[in-house]
Structure 1
Amino acid sequence: MVIGVLQIELSIEGAASLKDKRRVVLSLKDRLHREHQVSVAEIDMQDVHRTAVLGIALVSTSVPHCQSMLDRVLDKVRFGRDYVLSDHQLEILSGQ
């Protein structure tokens, strides 16, 4: 079993309130789940209306497949229109 974890930090400059931020985050979470079958959750900075930190997880059968899928997710996030990707970390865990 292989587990891929991608943590992304987004800057949402157009958000004037937490409601604006939630709209952007929910839209991205739904799109990533629907198009890539990954699990997505907001994991930090919930009370900051211009920054979002999301955790994205994927379970796979091979490291190359997992890496490829998370690279596609990251490419999708890079080209968002309501936010800017500020930072990201990718980790792949391999078990027996």
Structure 2
Amino acid sequence: MVVGIGQIKFRLYDVHSLKAKRSVVKSIISRLQNRFNISVAETGLNDSHDWAQIGFALVGNDARMINSKVDKVFNAADRFGLAVIVDTHMEIIHI
């Protein structure tokens, strides 16, 4: 079994409240879940209105496929255009 874990840190522009931030982050999360059928959640920077961090995980049996899917998630999150990706982190775990 292979587990892929990813983390994305976003910079949000023109967001001046936590309510507006929640709207943007929920949109990113739901789009990623619907498109890739992965587990996604906001994992940090909860009290900042101009920064966001999400984490996601997926499971499979082929490390190359998992690596490719994680890269596709990063690219899709960037193409959504809702926020600017500042940093990404990926880890592939073989169990």
Structure 2 length-normalised TM? 0.96
**Aligned residues with identical type, % of pairs:** 35
Residue by residue over 1:24-82, the C-alpha shift from the partner in whole angstroms, topping out at 9 and shown as x without a partner, is 00001000000001110111110100000111111111101101111110111122322
Query: How far apart, CA to CA, are the structure 2 residues paired with 1:82 and 1:15?
Result: 11
Structure 1 segments unaligned to the other structure (5+ residues): none
**Partner amino acid for 2:6?**
L
**Residue matched to 1:45:** 45
After the TM superposition, list the runs of 4 or more consecutive aligned residues in structure 1 that deviate by more than 2 angstroms.
none
Equivalent pair of 1:12/1:84 in contact (CA under 8 Å):
yes
**Partner amino acid for 2:25?**
V
Aligned length: 95
**Residue matched to 1:89:** 89
**Partner amino acid for 1:89?**
H
1:80 aligns with 2:94: no
**What root-mean-square deviation, in Å, do the aligned CA atoms of Structure 1 and Structure 2 show?**
0.8
**Residue matched to 2:7:** 7
Equivalent pair of 1:4/1:67 in contact (CA under 8 Å):
yes
Question: 3-state SS of the aligned residue for 2:9?
Answer: strand
